[in-house]
Amino acid sequence: MSNSTLNIVKIGGNVIDDDIQLETFLEKFAAIPGKKILVHGGGKIATRLASKLGLEAQMVEGRRITDKDMLDVVTMVYAGLTNKKIVATLQKYLCDAIGLSGADGNVIKAVKRPVKEIDYGYAGDILADSVNSLAIKKFLDAGFTPIFSAITHNGSGQLLNTNADTIASALATAMADHYEASLIYCFEKNGVLLDVNDENSVIENITAKDFTTYRERGIISDGMIPKLQNAFDAIHKGVKSVYVGNASNLHLFQQQKFGTCLVNK
């Protein structure tokens, strides 16, 4: 493994939806030294566009049900509008970004989620060998900063909607073979909160056991559930550290004072 570090940052939530917040975040992201990757969603924008088109968004435990029409919408929003807006803004801050979906360069394959209790439609699940880490390393070695949208493919021409938190976790896990990798989830909250109405109730450190307890008590719910599931999965597979915190505080990551740190115990 290379001694160099790599930071994989995922941005989501209301920040993507707010041009001012997003630009502030991207300026801070561009200032992070060394190699880095950004993963983004865009779900609220996709939901709004779908509504304008007469499509109703359906969610189960923070995960979107993606029928054929909704797949068209999320592909347009994630891999198109949102991705290129982010790339253009990063160029403004002298970060040489390159926008990617999983299909570009065959960097992330996925499989259509099998139907069990719920049919998630064209939702993609990532397998252990889904990420082409050597191809991504070529982009990094060439001086590019990859910007990943939440769209993957199955290798047979079918695009798939894949949870952006899952993509970030899978990227961090795969790239840990080549770098000392850290994973940073950024959104509008200050971290994992004991009380969702109190921004000062940040849980500074959380173990997998804590996560189970908080979930059972309803303290951790909805979209935070898959986010933390993916984060602990990454830690167990060799990622150095995982943080969850406020996008506007990204600069504090360098001092290890950023949000909630997930602990491997």
Structure tokens at 254: 């360098």
The CA distance from 87 to 106, in Å, is 20
Residue 21: C-alpha distances to residues 29, 83, 208, 235, 236 (Å): 12, 16, 31, 29, 32
Is 191 annotated for ligand binding? Answer: no
Is 42 annotated for ligand binding? Answer: yes
Is 48 annotated for ligand binding? Answer: no
Q: Strand 97-100's sheet: what is its strand order?
A: 97-100, 145-148, 35-40, 5-11, 180-187, 241-246, 260-262, 205-206
DSSP 78: I
Cross-strand bridge partners of residue 123: 161
Is 43 annotated for ligand binding? Answer: yes
The CA distance from 238 to 180, in Å, is 9
Residue 215: C-alpha distances to residues 125, 142, 218, 225, 232 (Å): 23, 42, 5, 8, 14
DSSP 42: -
Closest residue by Cα to residue 17 from 98, 95, 108, 86: 86
Q: Which residues are annotated as a binding site?
A: 42-43, 64, 161
Q: Which residues are annotated as a binding site for substrate?
A: 42-43, 64, 161
